[in-house]
Amino acid sequence: MSNKKDERASTETAGPEAKDHLPTVFEGGSDIGGRGSDAAIEALFVSPFRIDLIRNLSNIEERSDELVLSEQDRQWLTFFLQGEEYAMDIETVNEIIKPREITDIPRVPDFILGIVSLRGIVVPVYDLARRLNLGEVEVGPQSRIIVCHHGDGLIGLLVDSIAQVVRLNERKIEAPPAMLSGLDREFIAGIGRFQGRMLILLQLHNVLNPELV
């Protein structure tokens, strides 16, 4: 099937600097703004964008910030979905591609849009918003498919836009709040904080498992 929505022209930029508050998926939360450095965004939008280049970009940025890294630090790819900022462990990411023609397949959950061919490899594509029960992704100029490792294969996740690569200390990752609105707890690994922003960290193994509904 073709992209389910026509791409919409957009010249909007990120909003005001984000405040330290809960995302709207949590009770009483509100939106997060900010999309990371322009250099990170430009580089991440290159398609295909290989994982080794993503790591190199992150290392360069962090050296410039004079950050001291430790064994507890992990890299996370951050992205936007329905106005919120999410993150996934970069070790699971194979590459990032632009949306392309998707072939429909029958008798699958509604969050599976179909399949694409990636250099001869068949890759199922999920609408990540549908997967998380947050509506659906409307494909636009900034939309991307994050291609992730899952078992012996690959799965693509359609998202609104890519933000940047960040490092988070595992000891500072917080458990998700007891009260969730819209998101299932099994899909959330925790909450991270980066430069005053709150990131929703995905439990990607569960997100990619099509049998977990």
Cα angle value 163/125/83 (rounded, 5°): 35
Let me know if residue 5 belongs to a domain. no
Q: What is the pTM of this model?
A: 0.70
- Name residues whose C-beta falls within 8 Å of residue 34's C-beta, 6 or more positions apart in sequence: 14, 15, 17, 18, 85, 163, 195, 197
Averaged over 189-194, what is the pLDDT? 91
The CATH code of the domain that includes 113 is 2.40.50.180
- Minimum mean pLDDT among 63-72, 91-100, 195-204: which range? 63-72
Let me know if residue 120 belongs to a domain. yes
| End-to-end C-alpha distance for the chain, whole angstroms | 23
Q: What are phi and psi of 106, to 5 degrees?
A: -85, 160
Q: What are 109-150's pLDDT values in tens digits?
A: 999 999 999 999 999 999 999 999 999 999 999 999 999 999
**Strand 153-159 versus strand 121-127 pairing type:** parallel
Instruction: Work out how many domains the chain is built from and give that number.
Output: 1
On whether the CB atoms of residues 43 and 88 are closer than 8 A, the answer is no
pLDDT at 42 over 80: no
Q: What are 141-177's pLDDT values in tens digits?
A: 999 999 999 999 999 999 999 999 999 988 889 988 7
Which residue segment(s) compose the domain that 53 sits in?
38-208
